């Protein structure tokens, strides 16, 4: 398949070929290299999250990392008003609305992935937000027509093969070298809470180093691609704090705008000046690598974290666990590093 271009427009021509059966079909549009990298990572995330929860899952991807991910769940009045979505919307629409609400600034121009067929309600929401494309296991009647009209007819619509299983071996060629490794399909540990499971699934498909904060089946903040793990926590925590502050912006200041993006931009601007009257609670955190120092726990506690899942195995793991105990944070050691590059 010929692509529009590679990672950058000057990297052309570019193409992609399936090793065997293709994992998706192009329903509409012409993908770029980055579109497909985002799509296949996002699809794996929602497929895994849905299988682990038994409900619809959605993700908003930008630059090979999730800006947000969520399971179908309740939509609060703030989110419903900003995105113009009925709180009683179908499950897949609620899942994506919650995912995009994590960090709507970063989701601008995203690749969308959902674990269930796209409904008319979801197509209508996507019609009104800035997005580059979507991958889904199917489309209800009329949904493709709505989506195909986006971006002057260039919106990318992919249909995932829900039965596709990738090869056990991954191969990458860079700078004259061929890298070969086993695909990371290790199962997550049993006995995890729903939030820790979603956090670990999301962190698994984010660029390392990465940390994800989750509450009530939706991400609140994703800190990905940082060299320092404590910076990952600060980034995810800052996004989580802003998510919380957005709950306290006066609706009349936001809902008067017709455009979703105008409502989002106004809400973000006003939220930055608000100090939340109530602290966040019940937040779960997953880290793709071991938390190496106690300052990671101190930072996490500031953002309402009460449960942490991380691989363990650091030379200071005992000190980190003791710091968590002092802050009233439970620790789950998974023994499973989830780096992704």
Residue-level pLDDT at 2? 95
- Residues 227-245, mean pLDDT to the nearest whole number: 97
Residue-level pLDDT at 143? 98
Is 62 among the residues known to form the active site? yes
Residue-level pLDDT at 275? 85
Classified as helix, coil or strand, 289 is coil
Crossing angle of helices 229-246 and 260-271, rounded to 10°: 110
Catalytic residue among 63, 151, 265, 327: 63
Q: What is the percent of the chain where pLDDT is above 70?
A: 100
Residue-level pLDDT at 304? 97
Q: What are phi and psi of 37, to 5 degrees?
A: -60, -45
Is 327 among the residues known to form the active site? no
Classified as helix, coil or strand, 100 is helix
Token pair belonging to 197: 């499971």
Q: How many CA atoms lie within 13 A of 297 on its CB side?
A: 25
Whole-angstrom distance, CA of residue 13 vs CA of residue 30: 13
pLDDT digits (tens, 9 = 90+) for 85-135: 999 999 999 999 999 999 999 999 999 999 999 999 999 999 999 999 999
Whole-angstrom distance, CA of residue 341 vs CA of residue 313: 21
Residue-level pLDDT at 298? 97
Catalytic residue among 28, 35, 150, 209: 209
> Across the chain, where does the E strand assignment appear?
24-28, 57-62, 65-71, 110-114, 131-136, 156-160, 169-174, 177-182, 210-215, 218-224, 283-287, 305-310, 330-333
CA distances from 66 to 110, 186, 215, 311, 327 (A): 9, 20, 16, 21, 29
Is 341 among the residues known to form the active site? yes
Give the gyration radius of the chain's Cα atoms.
20
CA distances from 206 to 59, 73, 146, 265, 340 (A): 11, 23, 30, 25, 7
- Residues 57-69, mean pLDDT to the nearest whole number: 98
Whole-angstrom distance, CA of residue 309 vs CA of residue 193: 10
Residue-level pLDDT at 278? 84
Whole-angstrom distance, CA of residue 202 vs CA of residue 207: 10
> Across 175-265, where does the E strand assignment appear?
177-182, 210-215, 218-224
Whole-angstrom distance, CA of residue 170 vs CA of residue 168: 7
Residue-level pLDDT at 272? 93
Q: Give the largest CA-CA distance in the chain.
A: 58
Residue 250 has pLDDT above 90, yes or no: yes
- Residues 171-193, mean pLDDT to the nearest whole number: 96
pLDDT digits (tens, 9 = 90+) for 253-308: 999 999 999 999 999 999 999 988 888 999 999 999 999 999 999 999 999 999 99
Whole-angstrom distance, CA of residue 12 vs CA of residue 279: 50
pLDDT digits (tens, 9 = 90+) for 210-230: 999 999 999 999 999 999 999
Is 105 among the residues known to form the active site? no
Helix-then-strand count for the chain, H and E? 12, 13
**34: which residues sit within 8 A by CB, 6+ positions away?**
7, 63, 64
* Domains of the chain in sequence order: 24-165 (3.40.140.20), 194-333 (3.40.140.20)
Catalytic residue among 28, 35, 62, 307: 62
The verdict on pTM exceeding 0.75 is: yes
């Amino acid at each position: 398949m010929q692509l529009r271009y590679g990672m950058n427009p000057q990297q052309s021509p570019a193409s992609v070929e399936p090793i065997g059966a293709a994992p998706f079909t192009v329903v509409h549009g012409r993908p770029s290299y980055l579109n497909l990298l985002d799509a296949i990572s996002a699809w794996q995330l929602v497929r895994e999250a849905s299988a682990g929860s038994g409900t619809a899952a959605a993700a908003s991807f930008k630059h090979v990392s999730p800006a947000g991910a969520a399971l179908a769940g309740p939509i609060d009045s703030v989110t419903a008003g900003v995105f113009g979505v009925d709180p009683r919307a179908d499950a897949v629409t609620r899942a994506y609305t919650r995912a995009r609400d994590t960090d709507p600034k970063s989701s601008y121009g995203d690749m969308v992935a959902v674990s269930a067929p796209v409904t008319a309600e979801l197509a209508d929401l996507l019609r009104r937000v800035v997005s580059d494309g979507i991958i889904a296991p199917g489309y209800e009647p009329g949904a493709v027509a709505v989506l195909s009209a986006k971006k002057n007819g260039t919106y990318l619509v992919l249909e995932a093969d829900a039965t596709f299983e990738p090869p056990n071996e991954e191969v990458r060629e860079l700078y004259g070298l061929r890298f070969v490794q086993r695909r990371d399909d290790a199962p997550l540990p049993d006995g995890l809470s729903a939030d820790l499971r979603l956090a670990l699934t999301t962190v698994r498909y984010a660029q390392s180093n990465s940390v994800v904060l989750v509450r009530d089946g939706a991400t609140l903040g994703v800190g990905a691609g940082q060299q320092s793990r404590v910076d990952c926590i600060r980034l995810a925590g800052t996004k989580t704090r802003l998510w919380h502050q957005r709950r306290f912006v006066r609706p009349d200041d936001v809902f008067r705008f017709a455009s979703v993006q105008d409502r989002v931009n106004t809400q973000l601007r006003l939220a930055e000046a608000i100090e939340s009257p109530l602290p966040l609670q019940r937040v779960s955190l997953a880290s793709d690598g071991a938390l190496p120092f106690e300052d990671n726990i101190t930072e996490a506690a500031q953002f309402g974290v009460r449960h942490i899942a991380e691989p363990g195995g650091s030379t200071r793991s005992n000190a980190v666990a003791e710091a968590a105990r002092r802050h009233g944070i439970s620790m789950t050691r998974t023994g499973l590093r989830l780096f992704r590059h």
